[in-house]
Amino acid sequence: MRAENQVAASATAGGDATLVQLLIQRAKNASTVGVSHKKDGRWQDVTFAQFLDEVKALSAGLVAQGVKPGDRVAIFANTSLQWLICDVAISAAQAITVPIYASNTPDECRYILNHSETTLVFVDNDEKDARQAGRLTRLRQKLAECPALRRIVAFEGPVAGGTELSLADVIAQGRTEHAARPDDFEARVAGVSMEDTASIIYTSGTTGDPKGVILTHRNWAFEAKAAQSVGMMVPSDSVMLFLPLAHVFAQVVKAAWLSMGYRLVVAESVDKLLANLVETRPSVLPSVPRVFEKVYNNVVANGSAAPGLKGRLFRWAFKLFDEYVEARSQGREYATLGFALAKKLVFSKVHAAISEKLGGNMRVFISGGAPLSPKIGYFFDLLGLKVLEGYGLTETCAGTTVNREHKIKIGSVGAPVPGMEVMIASDGEILIRGPAVMKGYYKNPEATAEAIDAENWFHTGDIGELDADNYLRITDRKKDLIVTAGGKNVAPQNLENALKTHAIISQAMVYGDKRPYLVVLITVSEEGARRLLLDQGAPVGTYADNARRPEVQAAVKAAVDQVNTQQPPYATLKRFTVLENDFSQETEELTPKLSVKRKVCTQKYRAQLDRMYEGTTVVD
């Protein structure tokens, strides 16, 4: 196999203990706090020993409910303490966890439940979620279409009986069973092989049906050790978890927690994240780029809108920041007297304000799940806040490469973790090999053979390059690369990420494959548009009303113009359309990790895209 660069793998092998065995080791110290979560309006600590007691009871309860070794058991819930207990208890019952995103539609749930042949599903509650019915209702709507599903177990709220049970009842049944035969738990745990399947995680792909990724206990044991070996987290850390546990990134946090024994703080919800950070003061925040983008955009929007001298000073400082980013991106130093003054007068205050809002105790942030705009990276770096951007896929247990705390290269996703190999193929595709690579796709040998070659290299579908320090840079998704009618290759994500650093913009989708020029669909930030209109004394209406306002259109044009100044002529955006609705998961334009579904958006907004090749809003 031809390759341009290759990182030598270390001799590090995977760990030799399952996550349940790691929990048992942690629980030997009865007083060690494992989890903090909010219950009845106050934060409460749960020790590893208490957590293990719940796992023992629930795993016995699952067995009593007929769950057999190798059965698939799904979890359809928001991230919570109960989610974690159920996940580990499933492994302790020798079964396989099938996570389902809390935002999934009834049809998406039906597909996963049927494809995996899930026999029992946990659900948290039946509270209405955004534009959808409650999760229990969504399951009930599809129950008749899921022949393998025998039980629904609800964390809270009333259940209907029959196939529906409460989590409390299953745990109570399990306590009785465990008390009668306590040795059964140890026997079940000992009977789990490292090569057994631990979880089947369904990809939230942007096209087609999701594929079930088979991850073994050895995969997770390796990933737990790898996270510790590169210092992403350390045992003394307090780590905030708000990411969906249906996503592989959150599962890495869980695995590392059981390996290292740090305090895991479970956020109440995404909406309450900032309040929870202030209340609990964690030292590590694993997050997706969207959170960092929102922090940056809020700073820019609030500072720019400040009246008088304060606002003028802020705008001057951020104009210099744009120059600083451009210089750093080109490998040049930027150390003017004006910028030194801006750091002292403006950015020091921004640092203090952000640190306070994020709890005031943050050691590092970890960014994954999607590319982080270099501009956002430079912003946090300037403030002295360390963002460790990493890279991986569901198929590689997420954590394949990561920046190190003492060697951060902005714009890169870091170097491979010890034990993993990364190679760049002759066509630029990133290939990965090592103990974190999946066993295969569930019930899909053809897709497995296509993804993993005869030399055990996993073909990621991403394009990238390795530098002299073996730090990886992602160019784009291979399938997303745009080839213009003039034959030029353009990476749309780079343009989209640059656009989203502007407070007025929520989402963007660049389009132009085999077309004469590039265009972009844009959705505006609801808060950004409202603030802009209020500042300019213009009327504020519905989302659609605001998107049509000339003031908003002008602000979007200014953002597009600014991004275009940084691009070669063939990669500039010639036209744009501001949509009258934002993208969302409920309307199926976004995946659960908030990536744009290009195929869906291209089909849904075909008329708007076609009009941009006929002569509408032109960016001169």
- Block means of pLDDT (10 residues each) for the chain, length 620 residues? 30 64 95 96 98 98 98 98 98 98 91 98 90 93 97 95 96 97 96 97 75 97 92 95 95 96 96 95 94 90 90 95 93 93 96 94 93 92 96 94 96 96 94 97 96 96 94 84 76 89 94 89 94 93 95 96 89 94 88 83 92 62
Please indicate, yes or no, whether residues 90 and 117 belong to a single structural domain of this protein: yes
Specify the pTM.
0.84
Please indicate, yes or no, whether residues 465 and 514 belong to a single structural domain of this protein: no
Q: Which domain holds residue 175?
A: 19-193+243-262
| Contact call for residues 604 and 597 (beta carbons, < 8 A) | no
- Residue 144's CATH number: 3.40.50.12780
Q: Is residue 201 part of a domain?
A: no
What amino acid occupies position 115?
Answer: H
Q: Is residue 200 part of a domain?
A: no
DSSP string of 487-539, one letter each residue = S-EE-HHHHHHHHTTSTTEEEEEEE-TTSSSEEEEEEE-HHHHHHHHHHTT--
Q: Is residue 215 part of a domain?
A: no
Q: What is the pLDDT of residue 381?
A: 96
Please indicate, yes or no, whether residues 530 and 563 belong to a single structural domain of this protein: yes
Please indicate, yes or no, whether residues 446 and 504 belong to a single structural domain of this protein: no
Q: Is residue 53 part of a domain?
A: yes
The C-alpha R_g of the chain, in whole angstroms, comes to: 25
578 closest CA partner among 499, 521, 519, 502: 521
Q: What is the pLDDT of residue 8?
A: 25
Q: Is residue 6 part of a domain?
A: no
Per-residue H/E/C for 553-568: HHHHHHHHHHHHCCCC
Per the structure, the count of domains in the chain is 3
Cα-flanking dihedrals φ and ψ of residue 609, to 5°? -65, -45
74 closest CA partner among 14, 124, 20, 145: 124
Q: What is the pLDDT of residue 568?
A: 83
- Residue 548's CATH number: 3.30.300.30
Q: What is the pLDDT of residue 620?
A: 38
Please indicate, yes or no, whether residues 28 and 149 belong to a single structural domain of this protein: yes
93 closest CA partner among 62, 51, 50: 62
Please indicate, yes or no, whether residues 524 and 427 belong to a single structural domain of this protein: no
> Please, which residues bridge with residue 415 across strands?
402
Q: Is residue 387 part of a domain?
A: yes
Q: Is residue 421 part of a domain?
A: yes
Q: Is residue 232 part of a domain?
A: no
Q: Give the 3-state secondary structure of residue 351.
A: helix
Please indicate, yes or no, whether residues 300 and 447 belong to a single structural domain of this protein: yes
Please indicate, yes or no, whether residues 313 and 443 belong to a single structural domain of this protein: yes
Q: What is the pLDDT of residue 15?
A: 52
Domain boundary among 479, 498, 519: 479
Please indicate, yes or no, whether residues 581 and 501 belong to a single structural domain of this protein: yes
Please indicate, yes or no, whether residues 367 and 451 belong to a single structural domain of this protein: yes
Please indicate, yes or no, whether residues 373 and 313 belong to a single structural domain of this protein: yes
Q: How far is CA 379 from the centre of its chain?
A: 21
Domain boundary among 479, 498, 525: 479
